[in-house]
Amino acid sequence: MSSLDGIIMAEGLVQFEVEVLALDHMKSRVVWSESSSPWIEGGLEDLVVHFTYASWTAYELGCSMTLILTSKEERLGQAVADMMTKMIEAMGAVQMAEIRLTSDALDELKRDRIGP
């Protein structure tokens, strides 16, 4: 395991983090054991492009990919998560799981350094 920005990352895992603020305002970044990308801000189109980059990074590294999506508005976050799930399925993902956390629970998870 490696540590980036206080987050413990498992080897062989690429993490795509998304914060949905509004449909036209989202932040995302890609994190893996050796590095992390900067936060990219933009709308839905930018999110799709950044997600494609994350997928390609995982493929090139031979890693599994995980998605962490947070949103204060549950319906909006769920809509974006559903769209991304369909994209993952279209790419041929074999196994998927969903875990829902409040932002406080996610902060606690990161603070306690509990890995996947």
Average pLDDT for runs of 10 along the chain of length 116? 45 87 92 84 92 86 85 88 82 60 70 57
What are the distances in angstroms from CA 104 to CA 45, 64, 82?
28, 26, 22
* Level-2 CATH architecture, domain 2-108: 2-Layer Sandwich (3.30)
Question: Which token pair is 41?
Answer: 């801000």
Say whether 2 sits in a helix, a strand or coil: strand
pTM: 0.69
Cα angle 99, 16, 100; round to 5: 15
The pLDDT, as a whole number, for residue 96 is 54
How far apart are the C-alpha atoms of 50 and 31, rounded to whole Å? 12
**pLDDT score at 116:** 46
Contact partners, residue 51, CB within 8 Å, separation at least 6: 16, 28, 84, 87
